Chain A
Amino acid sequence: MEEKEKKKHRAKHSGPKAEKKRKRYLNDLGIGDEEDARKRNPKAFTVQSAVRMARTFHRTQDLKTKKHHIPVVDRTPLEPPPVVVVVVGPPKVGKSTVIKCLIKNFTRQKLVEIRGPVTIVSGKKRRLTIIECGCDINTMIDLAKVADLVLMLIDASFGFEMETFEFLNICQVHGFPKIMGVLTHLDTFKNNKQLKKTKKKLKHRFWTEVYPGAKLFYLSGMVHGEYQKQEIHNLGRFISVMKFRPLTWQTSHPYVLADRMEELTNPEDVRINPKCDRKISLYGYLRGAHLKNKSQIHMPGVGDFTVSDVSFLPDPCALPEQQKKRSLNEKEKLVYAPLSGVGGIVYDKDAVYIDLGGSHAHEKEEEEVRPNHELVQSLISTHSAIDVKMASSKVSLFMDSRPLGSEDVGQEFVMPKEERQLDLKTGRVRRKAVFEEEEKENDDAVSDEEDDQEEEEEAAMSEDGSDGDDENDTEEESERELLREEMTIRRAKRMKTEVPKEEAVNELPAFADSDDDLEMSSEEEGKTAPEGSEIEDEEEEEEEEDEQRTCKDESSDSEFEAAKKRAKSKQYDVNSGHTETKSQTSDHSLKRKAVLTTDSGNCTAEEASESEVESSSLDEGDGEGGSHDELEAEESNSDGFQHSQAKTAHNVRQTKLKAVEAEDDDVENLLREKEEYEEKIDLSADTIGALKWKEDLTQKAAEAFLRQQRSTPNLRKLVYGTVVEDEDHESEDADDELGGLFRVSRPDKESKQKANALDCSKFLIEKPQDWDLEEVMSSIRDCFVTGKWEDDKDAAKLLEEDEELYGDFEDLETGVVHKGKGAAEGDESGSEEEEEDEKMSKPEPEEEEKKKERMDKKRKLKEMFDAEYDEGDTTYFDDLKEEMHKQAQLNRAEFEDQDDETRVQYEGFRPGMYVRIEIENVPCEFVLNFDPHYPIILGGLGNSEGNVGYVQLRLKKHRWYKKILKTRDPLILSLGWRRFQTIPMFYIEDHNGRHRLLKYTPQHMHCGAAFWGPITPQGTGFLAVQSVSGTTPDFRIAATGVVLDLDKSITIVKKLKLTGFPFKIYKNTCFIKGMFNSQLEVAKFEGAAIRTVSGIRGQIKKALRTPVGAFRATFEDKLLMSDIVFVRTWYPVSIPTFYNPVTSLLKPAGEKDTWSGMKTTGQLRYERGIKLKQNKDSLYKPIVREKRHFNKLHIPKALQKALPFKNKPKNLEKKGKAPKDQWRPAVIREPHEKKISALLSALSTVNNYKISKAKVKHREQLKEYLKVKQKEDEQKFKRQKEAKKKVYRILGQREKKRQKSSLKGSSKREKSM
């Protein structure tokens, strides 16, 4: 039909399709895909303004430098200690639940009750120590100082509480650890909007306190009493990836957050005096800085102590060995919390503890536990009753409890509180497994190794030729090391089945004396020295393949030695009735003591003499004599006291030690030949028993002589070896006494002479070399620049090398081409033949040499290149950073190769180690009132930080604290590690540097404070509270500040005004009384400035004879008798030397937050109802001021006359009434005149009216006119504008045309572009 016109295709002009098409089209044309805007339109991105450019540059630089911190040497250990996570918050906010959930999240274990810190492995490279912080301000302060990360729990349904802010402020003062907020109780919000609002509000408040953007975590709700799994998992993730910045105080002080406490007091002492000072050992990871033995520590809440012993133990919660897999396996997810009763078997140097049952058991089988529980209870009570004979009780306990253990495997006893008091150790039930001396020498460790497929370190018991020694050998005891794999409960259970086997395994403690190792290392160091200088006589014992790095030192020989020594000391043990464990401990302490008294104890007597001989360079005969003397001294001491006994035992051990030094020392093997001839000599020393050690004295002396002959003594031994002990002399003196009265005076020994010798630092030369001889001269020839240089520094050589590198160049002027390479090649070819020969013998090194050379060349080239192109970039900051980095690397590398025992001697115990710290003289209350919920912190003190003195602070009252602080009121400060009460005095520094006492702290200003207390480094922050007991609704932190200065004296003054009254006034001179009491006093103040209240200044001149204390003074003006004169003086104030540490941990359990110290005067007055007697004069009275009348100024007539007129008083008396004649007359008009005036006034009225009318009319006319005028004006303006427009358009067009014509060329060019 009719053809309908089809709809035409309409190409798309917009949309993605069109876009694509266009693009394709443009691409086809070759102009598609335009480059970025910067290239396309370069003009838009060029420098518009130099000033602006400079400003932006400066700005960026500012921002950059702002980010810089002063670089510090990175001293973090390679294997860092666990991160301390402190969970803090008000009560009932869910702290323990969070901890439990976190532990469950990381370790898949459920802890029921958490006491003390819990250490878990949270990842391949991170461990966490989680600890809960109660609301006691003591705990909060202590934990803020050790925290790395704070989980701040906030009850969202309630909002922030004071504790939160207090804790934040504590943190700010003591270095700000990372803080992460966690909102809980979010499920109480039914309204979603409300929830959102609250979250936001809390978040912003939190941000203002911490920093904007601080992480705030939301735990939405509980499921079966736990938080949601996913949320906890996320929280865990956050924790385990968090980075920490080092805090100054923490990195400069060693500290331990103790996770275990043992009491080591002699039970006999406790029995005699239950309140005797205790000896305890504390365990924990060392954090912060290196800890040295015998250093001072402070336990917050307890006091200052000196570490009596430190030893490191194998890590109970070790990180997994480096593996390539992604996540931890179940075995490696360890948890360690001995205070909570988790951790399985604990191997210790004192005993072995087995923890029965995991914490799971508690929940399920609580009912079942009851009867057992009672049984155990009774057992424990018996144990405590017969603690005098501990050995038997222990054994019986063990035997009793073993069947018990096998009956119900996996049961666990949670200690109620009253039990805790019974069990003095840690407050948990566990059984002590005491290994008796069933161990014989023929024990073999190999069998044990099979027991545990884990890599336990087992040192095999060894026996060598010395078994014929003594009867004591049978008494060997030994302990096992702590096995980190055994820490999990699962393990603990399994271990229990293995208990019998374990019993058989005896091992030496890990601390086994370090000396042999040190010796070895020193030997290695002094390789060049003939090794034979040591008395080495034994063949190596069986090499143990499985000996680990950590227990390398624990060689079988030392074990043997220690055992023997111990046995020996036991022989003389006075307290033979002691239990095994106790004697063990005493043994250890003895041993330690011995080690210490003999100065690292690896020197026998004759070595001491040797050192002496060497230092004083006497002839050998003397040396021998000396050594004899020494040995005799030792001998004489040996029969008396246990202590000296230990020492002799030690000596014996020394001789033995040398015998077995060769253990796992490769160097030794090389030097075996040298040793062999010595062996013969020493064989006797070895085979002869320990008690017969003195038999070979002559031989030893001979050896000493031999050794002395050697050129290089073992320097370490020479320096740190035995020095003559004072105690020895004392005892000697005692021996010399005759009848208690007289003393045998013997000729001074060499050592004594030395003690009083000339004190001179010069190193005198005994026999100088003959410097005229040629060979002597040549021995230092190369010390001078004129001598031969080392290869890498020799200028000629270096030049040559450079030649090789850059030798090729062409002299452009002459066209000569220099070939450096050729010359070098020639050299090489020349030397090649020789090299060839060498190659035959050792081709390997040759190859390496070349490689090295090549590398060197490359490096040099690179350096050149870097120097050329990178020089501009390195700033001072970069250099500094580089330097610090280098130092850090050196720190790491320096002692890397040494084993721990040696390292510990040089650097101290490094952070990350699990250490055991022994402390003596601890108050018994600490042990009796031990509560694991309260953290025990051992804070190391720096040098002289244990001293006391005056400390000056900069202090500011906290803005939230409601009261102001008063001078001389006791205040509790938290400074450094300590919390203590002291009496501060507030002062302010005047412009002239005077410290003026203030009665109260200023309101919104810093002031100074000075107190008498422990010296703490400058720059340390502190906070002050008025009381640590109980809780107050108000904010508790009274003041914060920083330490400025430390001194032993202080100069604070207060103003004192002395007043006096004039009693005789001359012109400017005045006699004043009542200010002083004697002539002497006046004499002291001669020349002092005085002032009257009205402001007349003067000076004290001289004392008068009468009345007493009166003086003559001159003033700048004449005084009145009514004037009061005063002198301003400054009176020095003394600060009470009151320092009272807050011993909150000594309070009984449950009362630990009730410590109260000295009270303020106000408190006491309030409590006792004493009212302050007011000084009547101090009361304010209403001031009544009389109206003052001033007399008229009277100028004498004569003076008046003399004055010029200007100044004369003008007698302007009031005018009297005008006289009648001067009055003006009144005017009375005539009637006609009256008429005229009336008419005139009427006319003027009319006229006035007319004028006003005309005025109004004129104004209206004017208005009309203006209106018209305005209209006209508008019209006119419009016209003009039009016209102007026209003209300008024309003008503009003309201009345009002109421009176009002039720019034609350029515009064209632009088009083409």
Chain B
Amino acid sequence: MLLLLSCRSGRRWGRAGARQERRLPQERRLGPAGSQGRSSQGKTSAASPAVNQGQEGKILYRQQLPALSRQPRPNHAFDHPFGEPGGCGARSRERPLPAPARPLPFAPAAVPALPVPNHVGSGMAGEVQCLSYAGCNFLRQRLVLATLSGRPLKIRKIRAKEEDPGLRDFEASFIRLIDKVTNGSRIEINQTGTTLYYQPGLLYGGSLEHDCSPSRGIGYYLESLLCLAPFMKHPLKIVLRGVTNDQVDPSVDVLKATALPLLKKFGIDGENLEIKINRRGMPPKGGGEILFACPVRKILQPVQFTDPGKIKRIRGTAFSVRVSPQMANRMVESARGILNKFLPDIYICTDHMKGVSSGKSPGFGMCLTAETINGTILSAELASNPQGQGAAVLPEELGQNCAKLLLEEIYRGGCVDSTNQSLALLLMTLGQRDVSKVLLGPLSPYTIEFLRHLRSFFQIMFKIETKTPEEEHMGGEKVLMTCVGIGFSNLSKTIR
């Protein structure tokens, strides 16, 4: 019944263990999954969520175990960890289960002779209430918040009533990514993939690689990584492969242009904060590659970010891969035509990638950012339809539409653009116990849900005030968000 996806409890040691584990998924793929998985893990189903619905026996997707642990083998040339192959199994050893006092072999009378018969576990730490949700929407923010708050999470009814129930491949990929960046987290997914139990570990970081599913853009993964990266044990340096620009998710270009400056506002700064696009990949096949590196911080600064200022310049990138390089120029021309009515300082660079760095599918697109004198950056982007889907898009049209989108974004305004609202709110929440303020445009549905989640994970409520701009021609209504940080500190970071 239950398929334990990954019970990665703790970094494993050395080569042999990893080898052994790598073999596991195959077994699981072949055999009757439930029993196999359980026996190999030595885990009881009691700890896992019960599954009450969904088709029996249908494995919807095959989840492989996360690749090798990245715990570096102790690199003294010939010091061999002898106990590996048979010795203490890494799994059973370090399960971060809040088990009560384990009777130890050498001290049988060890358990205190206390007159506490009926609550042995009441005094235990770690009995944090499990949050439960239904539906796969907002999966990312739930997992991210669970990781940051350290609260276990259960998500039920993931597409339970659909033709094709369970987690999709991009979600599975995301879960794998979460597993990669953490240490000691426990992820259990039932056989149908409709129920997910997640017990977070500590954020670990380090140098990683991840192949993102091409059905969603890299932005889908990167957005969550942006939330988690500052709180790792080791600075995160991750190579993500997949679709860099698509029509659904915020593209890597936009995140690079908007999210990084936002992180800097909160004190997450330094030369190794970067997003580098090595290769561009367009849907459906992808083939892009980016590098994301982020330093680690112990605490965040509170921000007072209430004055967006006036837009002083507009920058942008028009990119094209595996199509004529002229496309980019055509987009730029048309976009400038619209934006020039407002501002003369416009510079949109064209980025035509060739050869190996152009990915596997043709496409083009554009992202525009408007920067104000106070450092606020608003953005808009558009990409062409993926190959073989929908009608062909004229680059002129795309450029115009993108420019209009930017104007729309400017109309909404605020100090943070609509894509990064949730990131800003999260970082405010995770600040010190000080008042942080930020002025936003109208809250996006995603942000609204994020606020609700913030409340259930961190018991934090934002003061939300609607502000109408005093001046007449300053766009739409704004929302002033105020909160007191929860005094979060990075528990993963080592002090020396």
Residues of chain A whose beta carbon lies under 8 Å from any beta carbon of chain B: 73, 75, 252, 275-277, 289-290, 292-296, 298, 302-306, 522, 525-526, 528-529, 599-600, 615-616, 712, 715-716, 718-720, 723, 726, 729, 745, 748, 752, 754-763, 765, 768-769, 771, 777-790, 887, 890-891, 894-895, 905-908, 921-925, 942-944, 946-950, 970, 978, 981, 983, 992, 994, 1013-1015, 1017-1019, 1044-1051, 1053, 1056, 1058, 1080, 1084-1085, 1087-1089, 1099, 1127-1132, 1134, 1136-1141, 1143, 1146-1148, 1155-1161, 1164
Contact = CB atoms under 8 A, between A and B. Distances in A.
B205 to A, nearest CB: 12
Given A290-B484, A788-B471, A1146-B115, A1048 B202 contact: yes
Contacts of B310: 782-785, 787, 789
A1138 B475 contact: no
A787 B344 CA distance: 12
B311 interface: yes
B117 A275 contact: yes
B98 interface: yes
A757 B184 CA distance: 30
Contacts of A1158: 101, 104, 107, 110-112
A305 B128 CA distance: 9
A767 to B, nearest CB: 10
B101 A765 contact: no
Interface string B298-335: 00001010000011100000000000000000000000
Contact of A1136 (B104, B122, B407, B484): B104
Contacts of A1044: 494-496
Interface in B102-139: 102, 104, 106-107, 109-119, 122-129, 132-139
Nearest to B132: A726
Given A712-B477, A1017-B489, A1058-B82, A779 B411 contact: yes
Nearest to A892: B435
12 contacts: A723-B452, A759-B137, A760-B248, A762-B250, A782-B472, A782-B473, A944-B150, A947-B96, A1047-B184, A1136-B102, A1146-B116, A1160-B107
Given A719-B443, A1137-B102, A1051 B71 contact: yes
Contact of A1015 (B80, B119, B185, B491): B491
Interface in B79-107: 79-85, 87-88, 93-96, 98-99, 101-102, 104, 106-107
Contacts of B149: 943-944
B208 interface: no
B125 A304 contact: yes
B284 interface: no
Given A946-B127, A1046-B491, 4 more contacts: A719-B451, A894-B482, A946-B150, A1161-B106
Nearest to A298: B125
A781 B410 CA distance: 10
B464 A949 contact: no
Interface in B160-196: 161-162, 183-185
Nearest to B119: A923
A712 B486 contact: no
Interface residues of B, number: 148
A600 B456 CA distance: 11
Contacts of A1139: 101, 124-125
Contacts of A1053: 74, 81
A783 B474 contact: yes
A778 B310 CA distance: 15
B387 to A, nearest CB: 21
A1272 B117 CA distance: 112
A765 B405 contact: yes
Contacts of A525: 463-466
A615 B109 contact: no
A1130 B411 contact: no
B455 interface: yes
A714 to B, nearest CB: 9
Contact of A755 (B134, B151, B184, B202): B134
B133 A726 contact: yes
B445 A1047 contact: no
Interface of B: 9-11, 13, 16, 71, 74, 76-85, 87-88, 93-96, 98-99, 101-102, 104, 106-107, 109-119, 122-129, 132-140, 148-151, 157-159, 161-162, 183-185, 201-202, 220, 223, 233, 248-250, 302, 304, 310-312, 338, 341-344, 373, 403-405, 407-408, 410-413, 418-419, 421-422, 432-435, 442-448, 451-452, 455, 458-466, 468, 470-477, 479, 482-484, 486-489, 491-496
Given A719-B451, A784-B310, A1045 B495 contact: yes
B137 A755 contact: yes
Contact of A1134 (B94, B118, B185, B461): B94
Nearest to A1156: B112
A1141 B220 CA distance: 42
A293 B16 CA distance: 48
Given A761-B223, A906-B484, A1084-B85, A720 B250 contact: no
Contacts of A1051: 11, 13, 71, 74
Contacts of B249: 760-762
A720 B455 contact: yes
Contacts of A726: 132-134
Contact of B419 (A763, A890, A1017): A763
Contacts of B136: 755-756, 759
Given A252-B487, A303-B123, A943-B458, A788 B150 contact: no
B491 A1018 contact: yes
B233 A761 contact: no
Q: Which of A754, A771, A790 counts the most chain B CB atoms within 10 A?
A: A771
A276 B118 CA distance: 8
Contacts of A1045: 494-495
Contacts of B117: 275
B473 A304 contact: no
Contacts of B461: 600, 720, 905-906
Nearest to B82: A1129
A1048 B432 contact: no
A924 B248 CA distance: 56
A781 B444 CA distance: 24
A925 B115 contact: yes
A992 B76 contact: yes
